[in-house]
Structure 1
């Protein structure tokens, strides 16, 4: 009887150790942006608009896609755009080139301490630091298979007027996900939300569980600012450019 009890205790201890074991993962995501053609065209100078309007509308209809990789160890993570050589001179190619230029640096998340860091370079180096958002997740029983894993649907609050939909898998117990998404009882494999009038869909296309340790580098360079402060500085910079270039974009 004592031997049976001892063996049972070992099984429990082994199970707890397996649950507490750090998981290292790399996840490839594809982000689709469904842009509003009318809003994009407002930022195209009138002299060029007739040349780019039709191809731009068609390419926006086809979708604008960007690839990202999440490296995570459960307590820290890095979410980075996977840059590709882009010789595409089409309107969509130029849009991607601008977005890539603004998103060169990885987003760092500290899940344990609930904050993120995002380096940005716009004339000078910034380091945006903010608390990770409490999405107030509500989990449903709706399920789907994504990237080979069973997932469950959750809805949350992105802000006072916008919701976010996420699909997470309890098979991978890391409370992480793409971009700034986090906080569910499993890895988020899909997220859908609207940001500044653009519908964004982020899907996992490949999940790799690693045996070797994944080390995450915490960014340290740049003036530490809030996102609100950074956006205010960018608005001020934009106004200066408008003055320099005679009023900027013609929106007639």
Structure 2
């Protein structure tokens, strides 16, 4: 009965939303994205607490971003809001590595089921072309207000890309005895990449509003009967802070076109190869390389 009442309420909202669906309809949604990352358990034998704190502070600006979603009835462009970098930003090896994954504009076409990501990776420009990821949304009974919009909850289980470093966690190293043995192993690599893993699946919770009846949302998220205003996915929270309907300064929504065209699988293979190269490079500089 609860799901039926949600559908009825949604139907009434759609009736009052006809004005939004004019021929030249366009909207802009501003999102605050924040990813939390626990650095306390990384590199226990290699970094002091002060070093961990310094890296965490420098990475904070990289993990807290503002994005703008420009959308019409079938297409959208999602890109980071341009701003000056904070002085001293970088974070050493970690900051340099993560800064090399510079994501540009992301284009979604829900009618043609197409996603195109403008992606820079270690100085090379790529166009990742693939179909839009499909999530099997479960419509929940809860609702809440986000700003002036009535939102409904939906959940889905998402398979995580193994190259998704926003969901990285410390690898389970086993019991204290094994830890002690490993700490005495002089051949152990000092590459921090050896200490992390990415979960295979995560729960995604989204809040969407039928008051803006477009099949869009931030990033790769879409597929609900209304604009997605909030997403909680693993360690990342994306929250809409402002919406403009039919703004005076409309954005041209078109797919990015510069860069080497690759599929998502091909791009992941390129990233894996580079990571293996870096692991060999930094792994040979540990204590085990000195005789």
Inter-CA distance 250–178: structure 2 relative to 1 (3 Å threshold): farther
> Alpha-carbon deviations, 1:69-127, whole Å to 9, x = none?
10111211110011321234267799677656523411111111112001222243221
**Aligned counterpart in structure 2 of residue 231 of structure 1, from 255, 268, 281:** 268
Does residue 213 of structure 2 align to residue 173 of structure 1?
Answer: yes
1:129 and 1:68 map into 2 onto residues whose CA distance is 21
Report what 1:247 is aligned to: 284
Q: Matches of residues 48-87 of structure 1 in structure 2 within 5 Å? A: 49=48, 51-56=50-55, 64-87=63-86
Inter-CA distance 242–58: structure 2 relative to 1 (3 Å threshold): closer
Q: Matches of residues 195-234 of structure 1 in structure 2 within 5 Å? A: 199-211=235-247, 214-234=251-271
2:17 and 2:150 map into 1 onto residues whose CA distance is 23
Query: How far has the Cα of 1:139 moved from its partner?
Result: 1.2
1:82 and 1:94 map into 2 onto residues whose CA distance is 25
Inter-CA distance 247–166: structure 2 relative to 1 (3 Å threshold): same
Structure 1: segments with no counterpart, 5+ residues: 1-14
Does residue 230 of structure 2 align to residue 190 of structure 1?
Answer: yes
1:76 and 1:139 map into 2 onto residues whose CA distance is 23
Matched length: 231
Contact 1:52 1:91 in 2 (8 A): no
Structure 2: segments with no counterpart, 5+ residues: 1-15, 160-199
Inter-CA distance 225–49: structure 2 relative to 1 (3 Å threshold): farther
> Alpha-carbon deviations, 1:16-71, whole Å to 9, x = none?
974742431111100010113146x34x993x655412344578899941111101
Report what 2:30 is aligned to: 28
Q: Matches of residues 71-220 of structure 1 in structure 2 within 5 Å? A: 71-89=70-88, 99=98, 102-122=101-121, 123-159=123-159, 161-194=201-234, 199-211=235-247, 214-220=251-257
TM-score, normalising length: structure 2: 0.67
Contact 1:108 1:118 in 2 (8 A): yes
Query: How far has the Cα of 1:226 moved from its partner?
Result: 1.9
Query: Secondary structure of the equivalent of 1:66?
Result: strand
Query: Secondary structure of the equivalent of 1:172?
Result: coil
1:64 and 1:206 map into 2 onto residues whose CA distance is 20
2:236 and 2:102 map into 1 onto residues whose CA distance is 16
